[in-house]
Amino acid sequence: MLLNYLKIAWKVLQRRKFFTFISLFGISFTLMILLVVVAMVDHVAGEHGPEKRIRQMLFVPALRQEFKGGGTMNSPLSAYFIDRYVRPMKTPALVGLTSITASTTAFANSQSVTLDVRYTDGNFWKVTDFEFIEGRAFTGREVQNTDRVCVVNEHTARAFFGTVRGVVGRQIEIGPHHYRIAGVVPNVPIVRLHSGADVWMPYTLSPGLTREQRLDGSFYPILLAASPAQVSAMHEEFEQLMRRVEIPNPKQIAKLHAHADPSLATLVRELTNHQTSADDGMTLFLTVSAVAALLFMLLPALNLINLNVTRILERASEIGVRKAFGASSHTLVGQFLVENLVLTLLGGLLGLGLAAGALHLINESQLFAYADFGLDWRAFGWALALATVFGLMSGVYPAWKMSRLNAVDALRGGATGPQ
């Protein structure tokens, strides 16, 4: 029986190609957009190198200063703030430090190359999980000794030497100084906001970023918990820490705000304007995102309902003949639901192909430097499941309406009326 339903569904889809195209387009386009968005979000905040333990990490992206005369200022933290307040915390297993990236121009093989430079400490390499193609990370001792060492990515190594092998120990010139290469790592996508760069150097090589004893500066602390279960305790300790921070100029500054959040929450807090609240806005963000996704998925479902009603009324004579020969309402409902399910699954597979193609084009375009967006199969599974549910829902009403057609009325031209 099911095989017969599938054969009939295939024939019906071929019969009205325009209706089939509209339905497939709605389903596949919706799934494509959802999969592309999920892939991008996952690439920013998911468990990918070099932040494979991101579920154990908290980030402090900014210090917000509220002035007594009105106005606010957001900026990264200073090395002084991190050393005095953050490093002594008890709950983190490790506290690393990384700077905002700074673009600089270097000359490689007589050509100008723009490089993104990030300053870090030795713990940065312990908090993250870089895979070294060659060599090693610079150590805490080298940072303390202000050794002119660096780690470079594949792109930088090829630009200077034409290869990624055999470059450890060699010198590269960036600005007025020469730096010894300690290691080479794969290219890190620019969307990894706390670890991506072309060159990584000891933060002590930039005295202007480290000498001043002020709270705001150019650095982000990265807090690593021993396990995901310890993250909430780490978050709470940081909240308590901020209550003890001494305001350097109480005549001008009224309050200080900073929060240790997961990677995605740091962006959401900024987006939802929750900088002064302990609530990071994730509940609101996830609720709005879920509702938006459901509404987005509902659009092709409503389109399917309208198309199915039209298609069923056009097949009134066929329905009448089948009912006249004894087909039950359950049989006819089952047939139309199978037809709708086949259409939905085809649209889902087409959406998967379109999403893969769109992500490939984005990767090839290098719109996001070094990005390698890939499909999230878990997200595809959920999206396809939702599409199937909506596909079945969109077939229930037309199928019920069809099953209620009077056989005689149907044979006369499709007038409706309960039997």
| Structure confidence by residue, pLDDT tens digits, 213-223 | 789 899 999 99
Size of the chain, expressed as the number of residues it contains: 419
**Within a 10 A sphere around the Cβ of 183, how many other Cβ atoms?**
20
CB 344 within 8 A of CB 391: yes
* Structure-block tokens of residue 7: 């054969």
pLDDT value of position 415: 47
Tokens describing residue 202:
């000891």
**How many Cβ atoms from other residues are within 10 Å of residue 106's Cβ?**
19
Q: Which two tokens stand for residue 141?
A: 């001792």
Evaluate whether 278 touches 242 at the Cβ level (below 8 Å): no
What is the C-alpha separation between 18 and 20, in angstroms, rounded?
Answer: 5
For Cα atoms 92, 232, 248, give the angle at the middle one, nearest 5 degrees.
65
Q: What is the mean pLDDT of the chain?
A: 83
Strand pairing report for 149-153 and 177-185:
parallel
Q: Are 171 and 180 in contact (CB under 8 A)?
A: yes
Query: What are the distances in angstroms from CA 90 to CA 97, 233, 237, 262, 264?
Result: 17, 10, 8, 18, 24
CA pair distance 384, 358, nearest whole angstrom:
18
Residues in a beta bridge with 115: 104
Question: 264-268, 300-304, 328-332 — which one is most confidently predicted on average?
Answer: 264-268
State the pLDDT at residue 135.
97
Distance CA 162, CA 155 (A): 9
Average pLDDT for 140-158: 95
User: Looking at residue 261, what is its pLDDT?
Assistant: 93
* The pLDDT value given to residue 59: 96
Average pLDDT, integer, range 16-31: 74
Q: What is the pLDDT of residue 153?
A: 96
More confident residue, 99 or 335: 99
Distance CA(283)–CA(300), nearest Å, equals: 27
Per DSSP (E only), the strands in 45-148 are: 57-59, 63-67, 72-75, 94-99, 102-108, 111-120, 134-135
pTM: predicted TM-score of the whole model, two decimal places: 0.79
Residue 410 pLDDT: 55
Q: Tell me the mean pLDDT in the region 278-289.
A: 81
Rounded mean pLDDT, 191-198: 91
CB 198 within 8 A of CB 116: yes
Q: Can you give the pLDDT at residue 284?
A: 83
Boundaries of every domain in the chain: 2-46+284-412, 61-260
> Residue 322 above 50 pLDDT?
yes
Give me the pLDDT at residue 417, please: 44
Q: DSSP alpha helices (H): ranges in 75-211? A: 79-81, 124-127, 140-144, 154-161, 207-210
Most confident of 58-72, 131-145, 370-384: 131-145
